[in-house]
Structure formats: C-alpha cells, structure tokens
Amino acid sequence: MFDIIRIPAFKDNYIWLLRKGASAVVVDPGDARPVLEVLEREGLTLTSILITHHHNDHQGGVAELLAHYPAEVFGPAAESITGISQPLRGGETISFGLLGVGFRVLAVPGHTLGHLAYYGSGALFCGDTLFGGGCGRLFEGSPLQMHDSLTQLALLPDETVVFCAHEYTEANLRFALAVEPGNRQLRKRIDEVAVLRSKGLATVPSTIELEKATNPFLRCTEPEIIASAQNRVAQAHNEAEVFAVLRDWKNSF
Ligand code: ZN
Ligand code: FE
C-alpha cells in the first residue's frame, strides 16, 4: 500500500501526499511550496498529481510542481485546468505505476460541474464534495446533482477513509446540531472534534461510517432532519428537496 502525509496549505486546505518508497502522488496541490518542502525533506520524487476540480486552492501549484518534476496530471476533462495530461470524466480506473494501486474515478458534480473524486485502497479523495460533517457549496451544480453525488459516496464501504480538502468540520457540526439536536453520535463527535481543535489537531480524515451517522447532508431521510427542513420550507417533501433546504440554510447559518 502507501502512506499518506497531510500537508496543510493556506488557511484551512489539506493537500494529501501518497507515498510509497521514494515516489509520491499529491492530490489537489493548491500551493507548490509546502509540497516541495515535504518532497525535499523526505527525499521523494513526484510522479503523479490528482486534481478534483478547477478552483485555484486545488490546482494553483501544478505549474510550479511540473517545473520541478515531470509528473503526469490527472483531472477533470470538463474543467479548465492547466497542465492536465490525463483528462478524466468519471468511470475510469487509473493506476500510478510506482504506487501499484488502481483508483476508481467518480464523477461527483455539484460544487463544480466537472468535480471528480478518487477512490482506491479503501481511501476516498473527495475534494470539496464531502466534508467532515458537511458538504461543499453549490457554485455550479444543482442541489439534485450534489445530492446524487453524495449518495454515490455514501454507498462506498463503511470503513472507507475520507480525505477531504478542508478543515471545516467544527463549523459544519455546529450546523448539524441545529438540524438534528437529538443525534447522540453527533454530540459525541462534536466533543471529540472540540478536543482535537483545542490542541490544534486535524479532524480529517474521517470515515464513510462516521459521516453517514453524523453528517446531515447524508441523512436526508431521517425524520428529525425532515422535520427541521420542513420547519424552514414547508414543501420540502422528498429527499432531494430536504437536501436543497439544508444546503441553502447552511449558507446563511
Ligand atoms: Zn472548491
Ligand atoms: Fe477548496
């Protein structure tokens, strides 16, 4: 398998580095400098870059990394990203020679229309689609698209480790509690996250199991969540409409 190194970037981004032996793959390098520091410190050669979507905090470092390493760059064909050598649309299986593992490419539109997630070896790299306790904003896609994308991720095995691209969990869980105050597992997670953050520690990765138990955006069929949504918008009837109400509510929370 491979080891995974968390590289903090900007205010609250995480760049994930997969390492096996002396080779490395990075996911969403919005900034090259912290990645180059880790590569040099650990004596690693960058062989591949995975991009989930076109926002600059996820791809801004690609050009500078390519100036140092002749890496292959995987990313959404449907988005404007410089340096992509392996354009993807979802449904492909990709492998990185030196890591010796295959990843499934999932199309997860919503945050952006071409947004991709990468799943392999029990790990999910989902960019700004699924967050700890929350989900990405709908900059380009519809609530229905995002709901379908999250439903697809929720169908992955419970033990899947979820590597999202931002440290947003604490604020997300404050919203989750407003939506579902009766969720005991959610209250437990809030306490655990508060301890981690008070020590300056990361709250990600999480797991699909934990997200299904505590993330309101994956729980749109729970009676308490349906009731909370209908309290705001009476005509929120089906799952996707409940999701749309939650996503809108979170924007102004
Ligand atoms: Zn983004
Ligand atoms: Fe982002």
What pLDDT digit, counting tens, does each position of 64-89 carry? 999 999 999 999 999 999 899 999 99
Query: Closest Cα to residue 17, out of 62, 48, 57, 41?
Result: 48
Query: pLDDT tens, 132-180?
Result: 999 999 999 999 999 999 999 999 999 999 999 999 999 999 999 999 9
**Of residues 53, 54, 115, 147, which has the active-site annotation?**
53
CA of 43 from ligand 2 middle (Å) equals: 28
pLDDT at 249 over 90: yes
Please report the pLDDT score of residue 98 as a whole number: 65
**Of residues 54, 55, 115, 147, which has the active-site annotation?**
55
Residue 12 known to be catalytic: no
Residue 166 known to be catalytic: yes
pLDDT at 253 over 80: yes
Residue 115 known to be catalytic: no
Ligand nearest to the CA of 31: 2
Q: What is the mean pLDDT of residues 93-113?
A: 89
Residue 53 known to be catalytic: yes
CATH of domain 3-251: 3.60.15.10
> For the whole prediction, is pTM greater than 0.75?
yes
Ligand nearest to the CA of 165: 2
Nearest 5°: phi and psi at 79? -120, 160
Beta strands in the chain (DSSP E): 3-9, 13-20, 23-27, 45-50, 72-76, 86-88, 93-96, 101-107, 116-120, 123-127, 130-131, 134-135, 161-164, 206-207
CA of 58 from ligand 1 middle (Å) equals: 7
CA of 127 from ligand 2 middle (Å) equals: 7
CA of 237 from ligand 2 middle (Å) equals: 31
Q: Which amino acid is at 107?
A: A
Q: What is the average pLDDT score of the chain? A: 97
Residue 68 known to be catalytic: no
Please report the pLDDT score of residue 159 as a whole number: 98
DSSP codes, 90-127 = SS-EEEETTTTEEEEEEE--SSSTT-EEEEETTEEEEE
* % residues pLDDT > 90 (the chain): 95
How many C-beta atoms surround the C-beta of residue 101 within 10 A?
16
CA of 21 from ligand 1 middle (Å) equals: 31
Residue 54 known to be catalytic: no
**Of residues 28, 31, 54, 128, which has the active-site annotation?**
128
- What is the rounded distance in angstroms from the CA atom of residue 47 to the CA atom of residue 37? 16
Q: Where are the domains of the chain?
A: 3-251
CA of 163 from ligand 2 middle (Å) equals: 13
Please report the pLDDT score of residue 1 as a whole number: 79
Please report the pLDDT score of residue 96 as a whole number: 80
Answer yes or no: are the C-beta atoms of 86 and 94 closer than 8 Å.
yes
Give the chain's radius of gyration (CA, Å).
Answer: 18
Strand partners, 112: none
pLDDT at 97 over 70: no
Please report the pLDDT score of residue 99 as a whole number: 72
pLDDT at 113 over 80: yes
CA of 208 from ligand 2 middle (Å) equals: 20
* % residues pLDDT > 70 (the chain): 99
Please report the pLDDT score of residue 214 as a whole number: 99
Please report the pLDDT score of residue 230 as a whole number: 97
What are 62's two structure tokens?
């690609």
Residue 128 known to be catalytic: yes
Residues whose CB falls within 8 Å of the CB of residue 177, separated by 6 or more in sequence, listed in order: 183, 186, 187, 190
CA of 103 from ligand 1 middle (Å) equals: 21
